[in-house]
Structure 1
Amino acid sequence: MSLSDAVLSGASPQELAHAPLPDHFTAAHLRVEDEQVFADLPEDADKDVRRTLHVGEVPMPELAPDEVLLAVMASTVNYNTVWSAKFEPLSTFRFLRHYGREGGWATRHDQPFHVLGSDAAGVVVRTGSGVRHWRPGDHAMVNAAYVDDQEPISQADGMLGEHQLAWGYETNYGGLAQYAVARTSQLIAKPAHLTWEEAATIPACAGTAYRMLVSDRGARMKQGDVVLIWGASGGLGAYAAQLVKNGGGIAVGVVGSEEKAEAARRVGCDVVVNREEIGIGDDTGEDPAQVAAAGKRLGRQVRAAVGTDPDIVFEHVGRSTFGISVFVVRRGGTVVTCGSSTGYIHQFDNRYLWMRLKRVIGSHVANLQEQVECARLFEQGGVVPTLSSLFPLAEVAEATRLVQLNQHIGKVGVLCLAPEAGLGVTAPELRARIGEDALNPLRSFAARPAPVA
């Protein structure tokens, strides 16, 4: 019996441990020879990720002592997959070459291919010689925070380590594949009531939102806080909205269409603002006068709805919104940011920051304890998956194109070894208690990208 067949048949830990490893496996990957595909295009050209994302065979790597081999049942597309496939702002092969120069086990990552993916849910099938707390057959999710547990700062917060990397972006052998290599310091027990594809949506986005809002390393949200959430119908925003509601706050979502407004309401937003109706576009952040005017319009809408300016702004859009975020948050309030999907060079009027005593907090993924605490909320039913569209691994380029064009709602999932949706549930009673409809608030928003022009 092949290892893949053993996984799919629910084989025992002993059978999994003795099933032969394949020499190669199917993975979504980039090729080093494509590094310059978009190099001569103008900055504003459409750099279609379908030109560079390949699905095919790659060789199976050897495991380090502190690693596991995960049979990936499902994964998701994150925006870093878009950056990777565009080779922007840097080619990820540069990351792999830099990491490989550390020597030892790191040299495995410097390859002429790059297996992408910063989310995964699946079955442990092999463990390194130093692994103590995991064994073949365990169901796990993978945290994208790839930390060095031998750095002293990791004892306080692994995210502060100088050698912390984003798995599947700054490392090889990520989650958009039939098999993935992960450190044990990345593994989180999969909530037993969720399917593989639902669980795969959790670590990168829900964990990131948890650290940004709830953790003492983030905005430290309190009951009653008004939280403005950019992109409240997207992968990050839809989890942020639920965390705000679950924590007794008031969620104000900002979205770009009426369809996305409805999705934001389904995940708990008390107030939804359509940014198109108040003139906030992708280029608004370029002009200080436009930023102030847009901030005033947005602020009036928020105050009219909830009576006060936001205590916290949940920021990940970047260049087109960051100045507005600094402007609109209340005196003494907090802007917490984890990304810049519209550009990472931001402009803002510093007077509104210093004279009104506001704070900006940078946040990146989440440490393992924060991920475990976040997963507990799913087990309690306080937060539910935000999966909308689901693609097979063979169509990962189309799935990524959907995210690139911002035509998606919630999380875009990818079935890897799982042959169909709905598998992986080992606590059906808990699932029934929470309710199928409650667990899938965004599945009716599944979409497919536009055809190639």
Structure 2
Amino acid sequence: MNETHEILAAIQAPDSTAADFAALPLPGSYRAVTVHKDETRMFDGLPTREKDPRRSLHLDEVPVPELGPGEALVAVMASSVNYNSVWTSLFEPLPTFAFLERYGRLSPLARRHDLPYHVIGSDLAGVVLRTGPGVVAWRPGDEVVAHCLSVELESADGHDDTMLDPEQRIWGFETNFGGLAEIALVKSNQLMPKPAHLSWEEAAAPGLVNSTAYRQLVSRNGAGMKQGDNVLIWGASGGLGSYATQFALAGGATPVCVVSSPEKAEICRRMGAEAIIDRRGEDYRFWRNEHEQDPREWKRFGARIRELTGGEDVDIVFEHPGRETFGASVYVTRKGGTVVTCASTSGFVHEYDNRYLWMSLKRIIGSHFANYREAWEANRLVDKGRIHPTLSRTYPLDQTGQAAYDVHRNLHQGKVGVLCLAPAEGLGVRDEEKRAAHLDAIQLFRTAEAPGPRAGRGSAPARAVEHAGNV
């Protein structure tokens, strides 16, 4: 498409102005990664592990959506895969078209989202192309990243914490026109400045997981971590846990990192963590069978934690695997401590022994993504070089299915990126001096990546590792 080529040329030109971008013609259509409404039953009867995102994710040519008030169209240079995109591709726990149908009933403008295809993806780094009526903070040509909170804010409930808005949704999961595409539609209050020292694919990687980890661990809406806390982090080298590990280290806490291999343990050491548990190597089995947990394993796990902390229990548990680990998490938390949970990648139905909760005055806090302020603060820390991307590998847009498969089967470290309009990796860096000062940290997950598929190769390693929350 000539219009797309013109957009890319303007982005790559060093002297393009806001007026140049505003004058660019918009294409009538763009390439986007989608799931199809008529395929939602394609995996019926298969266990979750056998469902393959490479079958359900399509690269389609779709029309550019109408731009509404308070919205922006963004040329997407790069995106990344989050676990919500994996859920979407597996049609679990239910097909996302139910979300789109519900949103479509809200208003005539929201009706645009209720389509027989769903453009997915909840991260982006790119350039603003157009803004709708009422947008004053952003203009064409601005280089941006987007967080994934979509809110209407017509109810009083959302004005203390926008995550409590009754019409709160996750963009690209509960809305259409997401970031795994060449163009995305976002609300202008999703936009944040792109860190100038990062490439497009590096800048796209932190968004969802970085903001989620910030609220869950640092914010007063989450665990309110303080200096000196011991923090148990499940999946500490994964897409979410790798940011929790960084926040713990940057905030003066002690992360106790739970991983599933020596390679992932080494990643945590290179981030600066010292207390590390290889749950596979030490053979923790928290369930005797499908229906019965093993408290003896909780006790063994708690004793191992105290060996690493000098005899102390953990103040905070950073939970996201869910069913497999939740009983252990509640047990090992110190008296008066906090289990803060988001997601449930090993199962949504959690079981724990409530005696260890109520009699020890522990708290369980539910945490979901982040409000705009929290997302902005999390992005600001990336921009200041305090928190770094954990990108390990990148695929082209037409191999997004493989990227989602990697995350589904836990074949990755950190985050898996996707190039959208960007023709190659490494583009988009504007501040080379700042980059040079942080290059080792920026590329830590790249240099630690074990041999396996990389962009353009697309074949999965022969040996798949069973996931449990990217642990």
Normalized against structure 1, the TM-score is what? 0.96
1:22 aligns with 2:27: yes
- CA shift for structure 1 position 202: 1.4
1:300 aligns with 2:323: no
Deviates more, 1:116-125 or 1:371-380: 371-380
CA distance in 1, matches of 2:428, 2:7: 17
Quote the residue 1:74 is aligned against.
78
Quote the residue 2:343 is aligned against.
339
Match of 1:215 among 214, 219, 222: 219
Query: 1:126-141 to 2 correspondence within 5 Å?
Result: 126-141=130-145
CA distance in 1, matches of 2:62, 2:286: 38
Deviates more, 1:338-347 or 1:153-162: 153-162
CA distance in 1, matches of 2:42, 2:105: 25
1:38 aligns with 2:43: yes
Quote the residue 2:406 is aligned against.
402
Query: 1:276-355 to 2 correspondence within 5 Å?
Result: 276-281=280-285, 286-290=290-294, 292-307=295-310, 308-355=312-359
Q: Encode CA deviations 1:212-236: one digit per residue, 9 max, x unaligned.
A: 1110101010100000000001011
Which amino acid is 2:20 matched to?
E
Which amino acid is 1:382 matched to?
R
Q: Percent identity?
A: 49
- CA shift for structure 1 position 452: 11
Which amino acid is 2:24 matched to?
A
Relative distance call for 1:42 and 1:399 in structure 2 (3 A) is: closer
Match of 1:437 among 437, 440, 443: 440
Match of 1:226 among 224, 230, 240: 230
Deviates more, 1:169-178 or 1:138-147: 138-147
- CA shift for structure 1 position 375: 1.6
CA distance in 2, matches of 1:432, 1:209: 26
Please give the secondary structure, in 1, of the residue aligned with 2:281: helix
Deviates more, 1:335-344 or 1:150-159: 150-159
Please give the secondary structure, in 2, of the residue aligned with 1:442: helix
Whether contact under 8 Å (1:93, 1:114) holds in the other structure is yes
- CA shift for structure 1 position 184: 1.0
Whether contact under 8 Å (2:153, 2:167) holds in the other structure is no
CA distance in 2, matches of 1:387, 1:201: 6
- CA shift for structure 1 position 171: 0.4
Please give the secondary structure, in 1, of the residue aligned with 2:26: coil
1:152 aligns with 2:156: yes
Whether contact under 8 Å (2:158, 2:166) holds in the other structure is no
Match of 1:356 among 349, 354, 360: 360
Whether contact under 8 Å (1:257, 1:276) holds in the other structure is yes
Relative distance call for 1:289 and 1:127 in structure 2 (3 A) is: closer
Please give the secondary structure, in 1, of the residue aligned with 2:92: coil
- CA shift for structure 1 position 138: 0.6
Quote the residue 2:189 is aligned against.
185
Whether contact under 8 Å (1:285, 1:320) holds in the other structure is no
1:235 aligns with 2:200: no
- CA shift for structure 1 position 374: 1.1
Deviates more, 1:75-84 or 1:10-19: 10-19
Aligned length: 450
Which amino acid is 1:17 matched to?
A
Whether contact under 8 Å (2:128, 2:142) holds in the other structure is yes
Deviates more, 1:235-244 or 1:372-381: 372-381
Normalized against structure 2, the TM-score is what? 0.92
- CA shift for structure 1 position 194: 1.2
Whether contact under 8 Å (2:260, 2:278) holds in the other structure is yes
Quote the residue 2:416 is aligned against.
412
Q: Encode CA deviations 1:6-32: one digit per residue, 9 max, x unaligned.
A: 233353211111111111101111111
Quote the residue 1:117 is aligned against.
121
Structure 2: runs of 5+ lacking an equivalent: 454-459, 465-471
- CA shift for structure 1 position 44: 5.1
Runs of 4 or more consecutive aligned structure 1 residues displaced over 6 Å after TM superposition: none
Match of 1:379 among 352, 377, 383: 383
Please give the secondary structure, in 1, of the residue aligned with 2:50: coil
Relative distance call for 1:433 and 1:45 in structure 2 (3 A) is: closer
Deviates more, 1:358-367 or 1:280-289: 280-289
Quote the residue 2:178 is aligned against.
174
Whether contact under 8 Å (2:286, 2:328) holds in the other structure is no
Whether contact under 8 Å (1:7, 1:71) holds in the other structure is no
CA distance in 2, matches of 1:168, 1:53: 14
Whether contact under 8 Å (1:285, 1:323) holds in the other structure is no
Quote the residue 2:456 is aligned against.
none
Which amino acid is 2:164 matched to?
L
CA distance in 2, matches of 1:421, 1:110: 34
Whether contact under 8 Å (1:285, 1:321) holds in the other structure is no
Quote the residue 2:461 is aligned against.
450
Please give the secondary structure, in 2, of the residue aligned with 1:95: helix
